[in-house]
Amino acid sequence: MAVAVVGSGLAGFTAYQALRRGGLAPGEIAVFGTDDDPAGAFRRHAAAIRQRRMRSESDGHCLPATFPGLAVRSALRRRSPGPLVASVLDRYHPTLEEFLAHVERVRERSGWERSLQGVRIERVRAVEGGFELDRHGRFRHVLLTPGQPGLNMPEELRGDPRAVHAYEPHEYRSTVTVVGAGLAAATEWLNALEAGAEVVSVRRREPLRRVLNVPREYFSRRGLGSYHRLSADERAARLRALLAPSYPPGADWDEPLARAAAAGRFRVEESLNGSEQVICATGFRRGFRHDPLLARLVDDHGLETFEGWVSAGADGSVPALTDTTRTLALGGAPAQWAFPAADTLAGARYVGHGFLRRIKACRIR
Protein backbone atom coordinates (compact mmCIF):
# COMPACT_ATOMS: atom_id res chain seq x y z
CA MET A 1 0.00 0.00 0.00
CA ALA A 2 1.17 3.48 -0.79
CA VAL A 3 -1.31 5.61 1.09
CA ALA A 4 -1.97 5.84 4.81
CA VAL A 5 -4.38 7.86 6.88
CA VAL A 6 -3.36 8.10 10.52
CA GLY A 7 -6.45 8.72 12.60
CA SER A 8 -9.87 7.17 12.22
CA GLY A 9 -12.06 10.09 13.28
CA LEU A 10 -14.24 12.28 11.10
CA ALA A 11 -11.31 14.17 9.56
CA GLY A 12 -9.61 10.95 8.45
CA PHE A 13 -12.92 9.46 7.39
CA THR A 14 -13.82 12.47 5.22
CA ALA A 15 -10.38 12.51 3.61
CA TYR A 16 -10.75 8.76 3.03
CA GLN A 17 -13.94 9.42 1.02
CA ALA A 18 -12.02 11.85 -1.20
CA LEU A 19 -9.35 9.21 -1.80
CA ARG A 20 -11.99 6.65 -2.69
CA ARG A 21 -13.64 9.09 -5.07
CA GLY A 22 -10.22 9.72 -6.58
CA GLY A 23 -10.04 6.09 -7.63
CA LEU A 24 -8.11 4.46 -4.79
CA ALA A 25 -9.47 1.09 -3.74
CA PRO A 26 -9.90 0.22 -0.03
CA GLY A 27 -6.98 -2.16 -0.38
CA GLU A 28 -4.73 0.71 -1.45
CA ILE A 29 -5.43 2.80 1.65
CA ALA A 30 -4.46 1.92 5.20
CA VAL A 31 -6.33 3.72 7.95
CA PHE A 32 -4.71 3.59 11.36
CA GLY A 33 -6.98 4.07 14.35
CA THR A 34 -8.62 2.15 17.12
CA ASP A 35 -12.22 3.30 16.85
CA ASP A 36 -14.10 1.71 13.97
CA ASP A 37 -16.85 4.33 14.33
CA PRO A 38 -15.46 7.46 12.66
CA ALA A 39 -18.04 9.57 14.49
CA GLY A 40 -17.30 7.93 17.85
CA ALA A 41 -15.50 10.86 19.52
CA PHE A 42 -17.83 13.41 17.98
CA ARG A 43 -20.84 11.38 19.08
CA ARG A 44 -19.63 11.31 22.69
CA HIS A 45 -18.90 15.02 22.79
CA ALA A 46 -22.20 15.93 21.17
CA ALA A 47 -24.08 13.66 23.55
CA ALA A 48 -22.34 15.25 26.54
CA ILE A 49 -23.55 18.74 25.62
CA ARG A 50 -26.90 17.37 24.39
CA GLN A 51 -26.35 18.88 20.95
CA ARG A 52 -29.41 18.50 18.75
CA ARG A 53 -28.41 20.24 15.54
CA MET A 54 -25.18 20.64 13.65
CA ARG A 55 -23.62 24.04 13.37
CA SER A 56 -22.68 23.14 9.80
CA GLU A 57 -25.05 23.46 6.88
CA SER A 58 -26.09 21.27 3.99
CA ASP A 59 -22.50 20.73 2.86
CA GLY A 60 -21.40 19.65 6.34
CA HIS A 61 -21.01 16.01 5.40
CA CYS A 62 -18.26 13.50 4.77
CA LEU A 63 -18.53 13.08 1.02
CA PRO A 64 -15.96 14.55 -1.34
CA ALA A 65 -18.37 16.66 -3.43
CA THR A 66 -20.52 19.31 -1.77
CA PHE A 67 -23.49 18.22 -3.88
CA PRO A 68 -25.79 16.54 -3.09
CA GLY A 69 -25.72 17.95 0.41
CA LEU A 70 -27.64 16.84 3.45
CA ALA A 71 -30.51 19.22 2.61
CA VAL A 72 -31.09 17.46 -0.71
CA ARG A 73 -30.97 14.06 0.93
CA SER A 74 -33.32 15.23 3.69
CA ALA A 75 -35.75 16.70 1.14
CA LEU A 76 -35.80 13.44 -0.79
CA ARG A 77 -36.26 11.38 2.33
CA ARG A 78 -39.02 13.58 3.73
CA ARG A 79 -40.50 14.24 0.27
CA SER A 80 -40.64 17.88 1.19
CA PRO A 81 -38.95 20.93 -0.32
CA GLY A 82 -38.60 22.41 3.16
CA PRO A 83 -34.93 21.52 3.70
CA LEU A 84 -34.02 22.85 0.24
CA VAL A 85 -35.79 26.15 0.85
CA ALA A 86 -34.10 26.43 4.24
CA SER A 87 -30.75 25.68 2.62
CA VAL A 88 -31.25 28.36 -0.07
CA LEU A 89 -31.96 30.81 2.76
CA ASP A 90 -28.90 29.62 4.74
CA ARG A 91 -31.22 28.37 7.46
CA TYR A 92 -30.65 24.65 7.13
CA HIS A 93 -28.69 22.86 9.83
CA PRO A 94 -29.03 19.09 9.88
CA THR A 95 -30.08 17.38 13.04
CA LEU A 96 -27.47 15.35 14.84
CA GLU A 97 -29.39 12.17 13.99
CA GLU A 98 -29.39 13.04 10.29
CA PHE A 99 -25.67 13.63 10.32
CA LEU A 100 -24.81 10.48 12.25
CA ALA A 101 -27.08 8.39 10.02
CA HIS A 102 -25.27 9.88 7.03
CA VAL A 103 -21.88 8.92 8.49
CA GLU A 104 -23.14 5.41 9.08
CA ARG A 105 -24.43 5.06 5.50
CA VAL A 106 -21.20 6.34 4.03
CA ARG A 107 -19.14 4.11 6.29
CA GLU A 108 -21.07 0.99 5.24
CA ARG A 109 -20.64 1.54 1.54
CA SER A 110 -17.16 3.04 1.36
CA GLY A 111 -15.06 0.03 2.33
CA TRP A 112 -13.83 1.78 5.48
CA GLU A 113 -13.61 -1.47 7.46
CA ARG A 114 -11.39 -3.04 4.83
CA SER A 115 -8.93 -0.19 5.17
CA LEU A 116 -9.05 0.15 8.95
CA GLN A 117 -6.01 -1.41 10.60
CA GLY A 118 -7.22 -1.20 14.22
CA VAL A 119 -3.90 0.01 15.64
CA ARG A 120 -2.69 3.31 16.97
CA ILE A 121 0.39 4.88 15.44
CA GLU A 122 2.86 6.35 17.91
CA ARG A 123 5.57 7.56 15.58
CA VAL A 124 5.91 8.69 11.99
CA ARG A 125 9.41 8.78 10.59
CA ALA A 126 10.52 10.02 7.20
CA VAL A 127 12.53 7.37 5.34
CA GLU A 128 13.76 6.96 1.79
CA GLY A 129 10.76 7.19 -0.56
CA GLY A 130 8.12 7.70 2.10
CA PHE A 131 7.34 7.34 5.77
CA GLU A 132 7.54 4.55 8.26
CA LEU A 133 4.64 4.23 10.66
CA ASP A 134 5.90 2.45 13.77
CA ARG A 135 6.56 -1.07 12.54
CA HIS A 136 3.52 -1.18 10.29
CA GLY A 137 5.25 -0.50 7.05
CA ARG A 138 6.32 2.24 4.71
CA PHE A 139 3.93 4.54 2.93
CA ARG A 140 4.65 7.04 0.21
CA HIS A 141 1.75 9.34 1.13
CA VAL A 142 0.59 9.86 4.70
CA LEU A 143 -2.20 12.02 6.05
CA LEU A 144 -2.10 12.69 9.78
CA THR A 145 -5.47 13.34 11.37
CA PRO A 146 -4.73 12.62 15.02
CA GLY A 147 -7.85 14.44 16.26
CA GLN A 148 -8.11 16.82 19.16
CA PRO A 149 -5.29 16.42 21.72
CA GLY A 150 -7.48 16.19 24.78
CA LEU A 151 -9.95 18.41 26.62
CA ASN A 152 -8.84 21.81 27.75
CA MET A 153 -9.43 22.21 31.48
CA PRO A 154 -8.45 25.54 33.07
CA GLU A 155 -5.46 25.03 35.33
CA GLU A 156 -7.18 26.55 38.35
CA LEU A 157 -10.04 24.08 38.09
CA ARG A 158 -8.02 20.90 37.85
CA GLY A 159 -8.87 18.79 40.86
CA ASP A 160 -11.86 20.96 41.80
CA PRO A 161 -14.63 18.46 42.62
CA ARG A 162 -17.29 20.85 41.31
CA ALA A 163 -15.70 21.02 37.88
CA VAL A 164 -16.59 18.93 34.88
CA HIS A 165 -15.70 19.46 31.25
CA ALA A 166 -18.66 20.10 28.97
CA TYR A 167 -17.61 17.20 26.73
CA GLU A 168 -17.72 14.74 29.62
CA PRO A 169 -21.00 13.14 30.62
CA HIS A 170 -22.73 15.17 33.32
CA GLU A 171 -26.07 16.24 34.79
CA TYR A 172 -26.93 19.70 36.09
CA ARG A 173 -26.98 20.94 39.68
CA SER A 174 -29.25 23.72 40.89
CA THR A 175 -26.56 26.39 40.48
CA VAL A 176 -24.23 26.09 37.52
CA THR A 177 -21.34 28.21 36.33
CA VAL A 178 -20.39 27.74 32.70
CA VAL A 179 -16.88 28.80 31.78
CA GLY A 180 -16.38 29.68 28.12
CA ALA A 181 -18.09 31.58 25.34
CA GLY A 182 -18.30 29.28 22.35
CA LEU A 183 -20.95 27.00 20.94
CA ALA A 184 -20.53 24.41 23.71
CA ALA A 185 -20.87 27.11 26.38
CA ALA A 186 -23.99 28.56 24.79
CA THR A 187 -25.47 25.09 24.48
CA GLU A 188 -24.73 24.43 28.14
CA TRP A 189 -26.38 27.70 29.23
CA LEU A 190 -29.59 26.57 27.60
CA ASN A 191 -29.24 22.97 28.84
CA ALA A 192 -28.75 24.04 32.44
CA LEU A 193 -31.59 26.55 32.27
CA GLU A 194 -33.86 23.89 30.82
CA ALA A 195 -32.86 21.60 33.69
CA GLY A 196 -34.05 24.28 36.11
CA ALA A 197 -30.65 25.54 37.21
CA GLU A 198 -29.55 29.05 37.93
CA VAL A 199 -26.76 29.80 35.46
CA VAL A 200 -23.73 32.03 35.63
CA SER A 201 -21.63 32.62 32.54
CA VAL A 202 -17.98 33.29 33.24
CA ARG A 203 -16.01 34.44 30.24
CA ARG A 204 -12.97 36.47 29.41
CA ARG A 205 -14.55 38.16 26.40
CA GLU A 206 -17.93 38.68 24.88
CA PRO A 207 -18.65 35.84 22.49
CA LEU A 208 -18.70 36.47 18.75
CA ARG A 209 -21.91 35.67 16.95
CA ARG A 210 -21.17 33.75 13.77
CA VAL A 211 -23.20 31.26 11.80
CA LEU A 212 -20.17 29.09 11.12
CA ASN A 213 -16.89 28.65 12.99
CA VAL A 214 -15.10 31.25 10.86
CA PRO A 215 -16.38 33.89 8.39
CA ARG A 216 -17.63 32.25 5.23
CA GLU A 217 -14.96 33.57 2.91
CA TYR A 218 -12.38 31.52 4.82
CA PHE A 219 -14.01 28.39 3.48
CA SER A 220 -12.92 29.27 -0.04
CA ARG A 221 -9.95 30.63 -1.92
CA ARG A 222 -11.62 34.06 -1.65
CA GLY A 223 -10.50 34.41 1.96
CA LEU A 224 -7.79 31.78 1.96
CA GLY A 225 -5.81 33.48 -0.79
CA SER A 226 -5.06 36.53 1.33
CA TYR A 227 -4.72 34.39 4.46
CA HIS A 228 -2.00 32.30 2.82
CA ARG A 229 -0.16 35.43 1.74
CA LEU A 230 0.16 36.72 5.32
CA SER A 231 3.49 36.60 7.08
CA ALA A 232 3.80 34.02 9.86
CA ASP A 233 3.20 36.65 12.57
CA GLU A 234 0.20 38.06 10.77
CA ARG A 235 -1.18 34.64 10.06
CA ALA A 236 -0.89 33.57 13.68
CA ALA A 237 -2.65 36.75 14.79
CA ARG A 238 -5.38 36.23 12.20
CA LEU A 239 -5.76 32.63 13.27
CA ARG A 240 -6.12 33.57 16.92
CA ALA A 241 -8.81 36.06 15.99
CA LEU A 242 -10.62 33.59 13.78
CA LEU A 243 -10.58 30.87 16.41
CA ALA A 244 -12.03 33.09 19.14
CA PRO A 245 -15.11 31.51 20.76
CA SER A 246 -18.34 32.12 18.87
CA TYR A 247 -21.83 30.78 18.53
CA PRO A 248 -24.56 31.41 15.95
CA PRO A 249 -26.85 34.42 16.11
CA GLY A 250 -30.58 33.93 16.38
CA ALA A 251 -33.62 34.02 18.58
CA ASP A 252 -33.26 30.34 19.45
CA TRP A 253 -30.30 31.36 21.56
CA ASP A 254 -31.21 34.87 22.61
CA GLU A 255 -34.79 34.50 23.73
CA PRO A 256 -34.32 31.78 26.38
CA LEU A 257 -31.34 33.69 27.76
CA ALA A 258 -33.27 36.96 27.84
CA ARG A 259 -36.19 35.30 29.61
CA ALA A 260 -33.87 33.66 32.15
CA ALA A 261 -31.97 36.90 32.71
CA ALA A 262 -35.27 38.72 33.35
CA ALA A 263 -36.21 36.04 35.87
CA GLY A 264 -32.84 36.35 37.59
CA ARG A 265 -31.70 32.88 36.50
CA PHE A 266 -28.93 33.89 34.08
CA ARG A 267 -26.15 36.38 34.52
CA VAL A 268 -22.61 37.06 33.40
CA GLU A 269 -19.81 37.35 35.92
CA GLU A 270 -16.10 37.86 35.65
CA SER A 271 -14.98 35.11 37.98
CA LEU A 272 -16.13 31.93 39.58
CA ASN A 273 -18.56 32.17 42.46
CA GLY A 274 -20.00 29.62 44.79
CA SER A 275 -21.95 27.58 42.25
CA GLU A 276 -22.47 23.91 43.04
CA GLN A 277 -21.22 22.94 39.62
CA VAL A 278 -18.68 24.40 37.21
CA ILE A 279 -18.92 23.28 33.62
CA CYS A 280 -15.82 24.01 31.59
CA ALA A 281 -16.93 24.67 28.04
CA THR A 282 -13.38 25.50 27.15
CA GLY A 283 -12.92 23.24 24.17
CA PHE A 284 -9.80 21.30 23.41
CA ARG A 285 -6.14 21.77 24.08
CA ARG A 286 -4.40 23.70 21.36
CA GLY A 287 -1.01 23.15 19.86
CA PHE A 288 1.00 20.27 18.50
CA ARG A 289 2.90 19.89 21.80
CA HIS A 290 -0.22 18.33 23.34
CA ASP A 291 -0.21 15.59 20.74
CA PRO A 292 2.63 13.07 21.27
CA LEU A 293 2.63 11.92 17.65
CA LEU A 294 2.92 15.45 16.26
CA ALA A 295 5.38 16.58 18.92
CA ARG A 296 7.68 13.68 18.09
CA LEU A 297 7.32 14.27 14.35
CA VAL A 298 8.29 17.91 14.79
CA ASP A 299 11.24 17.10 17.02
CA ASP A 300 12.51 14.21 14.91
CA HIS A 301 12.50 16.23 11.71
CA GLY A 302 13.02 19.76 12.97
CA LEU A 303 9.81 20.95 11.35
CA GLU A 304 8.97 24.61 11.24
CA THR A 305 6.31 25.62 13.74
CA PHE A 306 4.72 28.82 14.87
CA GLU A 307 2.95 29.45 18.18
CA GLY A 308 1.84 25.86 18.53
CA TRP A 309 0.92 25.34 14.89
CA VAL A 310 2.94 23.17 12.55
CA SER A 311 3.71 25.25 9.51
CA ALA A 312 1.79 23.63 6.65
CA GLY A 313 1.45 24.52 2.99
CA ALA A 314 -1.79 25.82 1.53
CA ASP A 315 -3.09 22.31 0.96
CA GLY A 316 -2.18 21.01 4.40
CA SER A 317 1.02 19.27 3.34
CA VAL A 318 4.20 19.71 5.37
CA PRO A 319 6.69 21.32 2.95
CA ALA A 320 9.81 19.86 4.57
CA LEU A 321 8.51 16.32 4.14
CA THR A 322 6.66 16.64 0.86
CA ASP A 323 8.00 16.60 -2.67
CA THR A 324 7.03 15.11 -6.00
CA THR A 325 7.61 11.58 -4.74
CA ARG A 326 6.02 11.61 -1.29
CA THR A 327 3.52 13.50 0.83
CA LEU A 328 3.08 14.14 4.50
CA ALA A 329 -0.07 16.15 5.13
CA LEU A 330 -2.01 17.28 8.17
CA GLY A 331 -5.76 17.07 8.62
CA GLY A 332 -8.24 18.14 11.28
CA ALA A 333 -7.32 20.78 13.86
CA PRO A 334 -3.52 20.44 13.26
CA ALA A 335 -4.09 21.74 9.70
CA GLN A 336 -5.38 25.13 10.83
CA TRP A 337 -2.22 26.84 9.60
CA ALA A 338 -3.43 25.89 6.11
CA PHE A 339 -7.18 26.17 6.62
CA PRO A 340 -8.52 28.03 9.67
CA ALA A 341 -11.64 25.87 9.81
CA ALA A 342 -9.66 22.66 9.40
CA ASP A 343 -11.44 21.12 12.41
CA THR A 344 -14.77 21.23 10.53
CA LEU A 345 -16.12 18.81 7.96
CA ALA A 346 -15.46 21.36 5.21
CA GLY A 347 -11.89 21.58 6.45
CA ALA A 348 -11.50 17.82 6.39
CA ARG A 349 -12.82 17.77 2.83
CA TYR A 350 -10.43 20.56 1.83
CA VAL A 351 -7.43 18.66 3.19
CA GLY A 352 -8.70 15.44 1.58
CA HIS A 353 -8.86 17.14 -1.82
CA GLY A 354 -5.36 18.54 -1.40
CA PHE A 355 -3.98 15.17 -0.33
CA LEU A 356 -5.62 13.48 -3.31
CA ARG A 357 -4.14 16.05 -5.67
CA ARG A 358 -0.70 15.35 -4.26
CA ILE A 359 -1.11 11.62 -4.73
CA LYS A 360 -2.33 12.04 -8.30
CA ALA A 361 0.52 14.37 -9.12
CA CYS A 362 3.08 11.96 -7.67
CA ARG A 363 5.45 10.60 -10.26
CA ILE A 364 5.87 7.31 -8.39
CA ARG A 365 2.50 6.18 -7.16
Partner 1 sequence: MSYTLRGRLESRLAALLPLVAAACVLTALLHRWWPVQAVALMAGVGLALDVQAYHSLLRYQPAWAAFPLGALELGLLLGLMRLLNVIAPLPQALALFAAGWLLSQILAQAGFPLLRLGYSEDGGELGRLGGVSVLAVGVALAGAAATAYAGLRPVVHLAAGVHQGPLVITRREILIGDAGAVVRGGIIIRADDVTVKNVAVVGGVNGITVESVHGTVLDGVSVSGAQLDGIHVRLAGIVIKNCTVDMHGNPLGQGIDISYNMGMGTSMVEGCTVIGGMEGIATHASMTEIVHDRVSGTQMRGISVDEMSMGTVMDSEVSGALGIGIYCNDRSLCMIEHDTVVGTRPDVASGNPTRRGVGVLASFQSQADLRGNQLASNPVPMGAVIDSQIAATH
In the complex, the residues that contact partner 1 under the rule CB under 8 A are 18, 21, 59, 64-68, 87-90, 215-217, 219-225, 346, 349-350, 353, 356
Q: What are phi and psi of 353, to 5 degrees?
A: -60, -45
* CA–CA distances in Å: residue 343 to residues 142, 232, 250: 18, 20, 23
Under DSSP, is residue 299 helix (H, G, I), strand (E, B) or coil? helix
**Cα torsion for 188, 193, 197, 198, to the nearest 10°?**
90
Under DSSP, is residue 312 helix (H, G, I), strand (E, B) or coil? coil
In the complex, minimum distance from the CB of residue 65 to partner 1, in angstroms, rounded to a whole number: 5
Nearest residue to 4 via CA among 151, 153, 133: 133
In the complex, minimum distance from the CB of residue 241 to partner 1, in angstroms, rounded to a whole number: 16
CB atoms within 10 A of CB 333: 26
In the complex, minimum distance from the CB of residue 312 to partner 1, in angstroms, rounded to a whole number: 15
Q: How many helices (H) and strands (E) does the chain have?
A: 12, 16
| Residue placing its CB nearer to partner 1 in the complex, 112 or 350 | 350
| Residue placing its CB nearer to partner 1 in the complex, 167 or 355 | 355
In the complex, minimum distance from the CB of residue 93 to partner 1, in angstroms, rounded to a whole number: 15
| Residue placing its CB nearer to partner 1 in the complex, 19 or 202 | 19
In the complex, minimum distance from the CB of residue 47 to partner 1, in angstroms, rounded to a whole number: 30
| Residue placing its CB nearer to partner 1 in the complex, 130 or 352 | 352
In the complex, minimum distance from the CB of residue 220 to partner 1, in angstroms, rounded to a whole number: 4
In the complex, minimum distance from the CB of residue 202 to partner 1, in angstroms, rounded to a whole number: 33
In the complex, minimum distance from the CB of residue 132 to partner 1, in angstroms, rounded to a whole number: 30
What one-character-per-residue DSSP string does 215-283 give? -GGGGSHHHHHHHHHS-HHHHHHHHHHHTS-EE--SHHHHHHHHHHHHTTSEEEESS--S-SEEEE---
| Residue placing its CB nearer to partner 1 in the complex, 165 or 210 | 210
| Residue placing its CB nearer to partner 1 in the complex, 235 or 353 | 353
| Bond into 292 cis (ω within 30) | no
Cα–Cα dist 296/302, whole Å: 10
| Residue placing its CB nearer to partner 1 in the complex, 91 or 267 | 91
Q: What single DSSP character describes residue 32?
A: E
| Residue placing its CB nearer to partner 1 in the complex, 17 or 175 | 17
Cα–Cα dist 263/316, whole Å: 49
In the complex, minimum distance from the CB of residue 281 to partner 1, in angstroms, rounded to a whole number: 28
Length of the chain: 365
SS3 of 52-114: CECCCCCCCCCCCCCCCCHHHHHHHHHCCCHHHHHHHCCCCCCEHHHHHHHHHHHHHHHCHHH
| Residue placing its CB nearer to partner 1 in the complex, 43 or 358 | 358
Cα–Cα dist 168/46, whole Å: 10
